Amino acid sequence: MSEADVGTAEAVAKGNCDFDLIIVGAGFAGMYMLYRARGLGLSARVIEAGSDVGGTWYWNRYPGARCDVESMQYSYQFDDKLQQEWNWSERYAPQPEILSYAQHVAERFDLRRDIQFNTRVQAAVFDEQSSCWRIGTSDGGSHTARFCVMATGCLSSTNLPDFKGLDSFQGDTYHTGQWPHEDVDFNGKRVGVIGTGSSAIQSIPIIARQAEHLTVFQRTPNYTVPAHNGPIDQDYVARVKAEYPAMRARAKTMISGLDFEPNMASALDASAEEMQAQYEAKWAYGGIPFLGAYGDLLLSEKANDTAADFVRGKIREIVDDPEIAELLSPGNVIGCKRLCVDTDYWATYNRDNVSLVDVSGTPIERITPAGVQVDGREYAFDAIVFATGFDAMTGTLLKMDIRGLDGQSLREKWAEGPKTYLGLSIAGFPNLFTVTGPGSPSVLTNMLPSIEQHVDWISDCLAYMRSHGHDRISPSTEAEAEWVNHVSQTADLSLRSTCSSWYVGANIPGKPRVFMPYMGGFPAYVDKCDAVSANGYQGFALS
């Protein structure tokens, strides 16, 4: 769609926009933004590519898909009745339940009437004369709005590597991030899974139980810690519900935005016995809090090695075949890539119907009509599952043709990596906001509180603009450059920036290698955002 095709000529000529706000995406960010916009009396329209709400949890329906944040914390807190009335069934909520929760929120607040489903935004162009964003959509439609909020998610653009012969495969293919809505039955089938990231680690144990044979193609082994998932403890639920606001407040003081008790001591000061006991306790508790075993696990390689060694020991303990255990053992920094949380992942390799193919030295050569070819050998399958991840954080934004002042495109602006002010706004793109955009803590934190913090900040900003008679806001290039610099310097302090992960865009050929999320932690980030708004939106030009 070209710029000329986008927009309502009449509205543009009048200097009016069709809506105060267009929100792109009806996941948790878009839904809450709509709720807040309505509360401010603003007219808003949400445009959503899927046929219903839920975002990430609408698309990622693969077997075993589950949140790696505990249920009682992975929910909205803006409405106490909502958090009191909703009941989670498991410690870690499975995808269908999170999707039901999103649907419940949509119904409870009657959100769907302002959401246009099955429509993808293709272009967003700022019209300088009218100060309206003109949004062009896949159905050929267009709308104008004073403000545009990109609530497009961090992991919403799937990555399907450009394997030779991809289209030649005669069997069924699936991507974990675009899973069909119908049940997929692997019973009696020969299945290949490509990838060993979080999606693969969650789905492999379940596919293995169904398939006649499962072959996993692993390029880089990954660290995972058991979830110890199960039915949620009702006493715990009652305790949390009795003190939900206090728990939420505690979580906000944590770097991760998660309420748990990290041990801030150095691993290097612990004796071998203390360390073993500490890691065993964390392993028994399960999940991402494992990385809170010591305060320096992501700061010192020597400290990190102690945790990595412990997990490698667990792999050797669980996996019967020492050669397979060795292949499954990651050699890099634990927590550098996002730590995975699993149910029976390592033990799955003890099954007779599961094999592991190491493609680290001999990449997948091609997809053939019968299956996958590696090192001259063909593996035949009835189905191939691509668990190959996402073009994270920037992929979805850059798929759209977003143009700001002077027709500058976001693709040009971000050619060397994303540049934002606070991960919320972009110099040269007035009245455009990104929820959990690159340069904000986003994926390094519990997403729900981070989403709410961004949406609240944007809502307060819109209210401020209205009360001060402003209709345009844009960050200065200086404020943006300073923030980009700060994000990059902060990333350098942590081991997280040292490996080839999707945090740095290393999984996408040609993507600039930049650590995208902000590593400074949730509390420091919130303080910065609050200081910016308290100082009359410091770093922004308002007119």
User: Toward ligand NA7, which CB reaches closer, 265 or 359?
Assistant: 359
Cα–Cα distance measured from residue 379 to residue 367, given in angstroms and rounded to the nearest whole number: 10
Given a contact cutoff of 8 angstroms between Cβ atoms, the answer to whether 64 and 206 are in contact is yes
Structure tokens at 96: 């269908």
Of the pair 259, 358, the CB lying nearest ligand NA7 is at 358
Residues interacting with ligand NA7, by CB under 6 A? 155, 161, 176, 194-200, 217, 219-220, 338, 359, 364, 387-390, 502, 507
Question: Least separation, in Å, of the C-beta of 91 and ligand NA7?
Answer: 17
**Nearer to ligand NA7 (CB atom), residue 132 or residue 357:** 357
In this structure, the strands spanning 224-226 and 340-342 are parallel
Smallest distance from ligand NA7 to CB 128, Å: 38
Nearer to ligand NA7, 161 or 417 (CB): 161
Whole-angstrom CA distances from 142 to 37, 135, 382, 420 are 20, 5, 42, 26
Direct distance between the N- and C-terminal alpha carbons of the chain, in angstroms, rounded to an integer:
30
Q: Which two tokens stand for residue 171?
A: 């069997």
Output Rg (C-alpha) for the chain, integer angstroms. Answer: 24
Residue nearest to ligand NA7 (CB): 197
Asked if residues 173 and 160 have their Cβ atoms less than 8 Å apart, the reply is no
What's phi and psi for 386, nearest 5 deg? -90, 105
Among 536, 537, 501, 540, CA closest to 517: 501
Q: What is the DSSP secondary structure assignment for residue 94, as one 8-state letter? A: B
| DSSP-derived pairing of the beta strands 383-386 and 44-47 | unpaired
Residue closest to 333 by CA, chosen among 366, 300, 361: 300
Cα 492-494-498 angle, rounded to 5 deg: 75
Q: Which is nearer to ligand NA7, 389 or 430 (CB)?
A: 389
Tokens 């309420």 label which residue? 259
Closer Cβ to ligand NA7, 21 or 193, answer by number: 193
The whole-angstrom distance between residue 295's C-alpha and the CA centroid of its chain comes to: 24
Using the minimum distance from each CB to ligand NA7, give the nearer residue, 123 or 225: 225
In which element (H, E) is residue 482 found? helix 477-492
CB of 199 to ligand NA7, least distance (A): 3
- For residues 522 and 451, the answer to whether their CB atoms sit within 8 Å is no
Nearer to ligand NA7, 65 or 532 (CB): 65
Nearest distance in Å: CB 159, ligand NA7: 7
CB nearer ligand NA7, residue 41 or residue 376:
376
| Nearest distance in Å: CB 538, ligand NA7 | 32
**Beta carbon of residue 217, minimum distance to ligand NA7 (angstroms, whole number):** 6
Query: Least distance (Å) from ligand NA7 to the CB of residue 372?
Result: 10
Residue 303 CB, nearest approach to ligand NA7 (Å): 22
What distances in angstroms separate CA 361 from CA 217, 219, 379, one per listed residue? 12, 8, 17
In the bound state with ligand NA7, the residue whose beta carbon lies nearer, of 132 and 385, is 385
Q: What φ, ψ does residue 500 adopt, rounded to 5°?
A: -85, 85
Q: C-beta of 374: minimal distance to ligand NA7 in Å? A: 10
Q: How far is the CB of 341 from ligand NA7 (least distance, A)?
A: 9
